[in-house]
Structure 1
Amino acid sequence: MPDTGEQLRGSERAVLSRYLVERYAAGESLMRLAQDTGRSFGHVRRLLMDAGVTMRPRGGSRPRTT
């Protein structure tokens, strides 16, 4: 994905949204997606929310210590 800070509209926004949905579903973090696309954390989150993605809980997975 191109690293840009320009505002996206129409088909460009849809393409980025699909890309983010696929990677998030594959387990990528919001922070990683934001870094890789040059977009803010909030922008990435908004695109995923607008696409109907159910967000994972905060904090990621942690190994069991019991």
Structure 2
Amino acid sequence: MTIPTPGAVVTGADREDLAAKAKELYLTGCTIQSTADRIGRSYGATRTLLLEAGVKLRPRGGMRGRYGSAARR
């Protein structure tokens, strides 16, 4: 799969391949933004691809400890 140029419309099998690549990256721990950077799409387009691929998105805000971060103590 070749990564399309930014702004190019991606349809059909190429879109499915791109969604699968985005899903793979996101499920291995990448953020939506870092996934977008790697596949050459915007944040919104990447989020849409992930949802089309059936990914359950992680909640916003990252990891939070029970008592907050160590920096706040």
The TM-score range, normalised by the shorter chain, is 0.7 to 0.9
By relative contact order (CA 8 Å, sep 6+), the higher-ranking structure is: 1
Q: Quick check: which has more Rg, 1 or 2?
A: 2
Give the corresponding residue for 1:17: 19
| 1:44 maps to which of 43, 46, 52 | 46
CA RMSD of aligned residues (A): 1.8
Unpaired segments of 5 or more residues in structure 1?
none
Give the corresponding residue for 1:4: 5
TM-score by length of 1: 0.85
Structure 1 vs Structure 2: percent identity of aligned residues? 36
Unpaired segments of 5 or more residues in structure 2?
none
* Count of aligned pairs between the two proteins: 66
